């Protein structure tokens, strides 16, 4: 049975800015783990996260708990985060090695190459979300500074 579409406005978070429907559609297309990580990073309580995730992917509460544990275990793992460059005229992204600090939040590594200006610097905590890029590739993109 396919999940039913959530009602309009049900994703207005209690903290931060409202979620864009297009952003949630991208997350949904990338699977349960991406959406679970997004809701974990959003500061929502467990019941809200479960209800929202269940609206996209039918699952039992036991499956939900197992999924959250799987996402939480990924803390400490390194991955590649795409950081926007500033002052380029068009959107340009630099792949940077990062370590997952908690769901949706990463600490950037590496160093800024000469002649580049990053929107977020090495060592900073950033919030990331899955993003589809113009060439069809998909990846984690840094979009704002993360709280420590």
Read off the pLDDT of residues 117-127 as tens digits, 9 standing for 90 and up: 999 999 999 98
Residues 89-142 have pLDDT tens digits of 888 899 999 998 887 789 999 999 999 999 999 999 998 877 777 777 778 888
Could you tell me the CA-to-CA distances from 108 to 44, 61, 72, 81 in Å, in that order?
25, 34, 19, 8
Query: Tokens 């950033």 map to which residue?
Result: 126
Instruction: Give pTM, 2 decimals.
Output: 0.60
pLDDT at 101: 86
104, with CB counted inside 10 A (0-12, 13-18, 19+), is buried
Average pLDDT, the chain: 79
């Amino acid at each position: 049975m396919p999940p039913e579409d959530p009602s309009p406005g049900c994703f207005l978070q209690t903290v931060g800015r409202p979620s864009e429907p297009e952003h949630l559609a991208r997350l949904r297309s990338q699977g349960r783990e991406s959406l679970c990580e997004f809701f974990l990073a959003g500061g929502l309580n467990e019941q809200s996260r479960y209800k929202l995730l269940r609206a996209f992917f039918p699952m039992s509460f036991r499956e939900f708990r197992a999924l959250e544990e799987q996402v939480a275990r990924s803390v400490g793992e390194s991955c590649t985060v795409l950081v926007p460059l500033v002052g380029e005229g068009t959107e340009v992204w630099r792949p940077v090695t990062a370590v997952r600090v908690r769901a949706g939040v990463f600490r950037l590594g590496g160093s800024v190459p000469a002649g580049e200006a990053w929107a977020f610097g090495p060592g900073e905590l950033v919030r990331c979300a899955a993003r589809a890029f113009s060439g069809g590739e998909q990846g984690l993109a840094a979009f704002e500074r993360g709280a420590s």
